[in-house]
Amino acid sequence: MEIWINPACSKCRSAISLLDAEGAQYTVRRYLEDVPTEDEIREVLGRLGLEPWDITRTQEAAAKELGLKEWPRDAGARDRCIAALAAHPKLIQRPIITADDGTAVVARTEDAVRDALSR
C-alpha cells in the first residue's frame, strides 16, 4: 500500500504510527514534494469512489484565492477541480492510503486506517 502524507499533518503522523504498530508494509509519498499528476488524482478518486471536491481542503488559502467553494460540483467542473488539485497539492485531503486490493481510503481516523489494513 501507499500513503500520501504531509509530514507536518498530525493525522498523517497518527496514520503512520498505526501502520508501523501493525507492522504494515507501505510506501510513503510526500505528495507536496512528489506532486500527483491529474491522471494519478483521477485514479485515486476512482479507487476512493469520490469526486475531487470530496477530497478538497476548502479552508486552505489557495482554495479561498481560487474561490473553490463557489465552483460548481458537477461533471463539467470535475476536470477543472482535478487540475486545481494537481496545481495546488496542499488542497488534497490527507492522508490517503491506497490499499493492495485496488481501493483507497482517506485515513483521517484510526478506523479508516484499520479499514485499509484489512484489505
Neighbour count for residue 12 (Cβ, 10 Å): 22
Instruction: Note the residue count of the chain.
Output: 119
Closest CA to 91 of 58, 114, 68: 58
Closest CA to 5 of 111, 112, 106: 106
CB 2 within 8 A of CB 29: yes
The answer to whether the beta carbons of residues 3 and 95 sit under 8 Å apart is: yes
Catalytic site includes residue 9: yes
Instruction: Considering the candidates 2, 9, 57, 78, report the single residue annotated as catalytic.
Output: 9
Residues with a catalytic annotation lie at 9
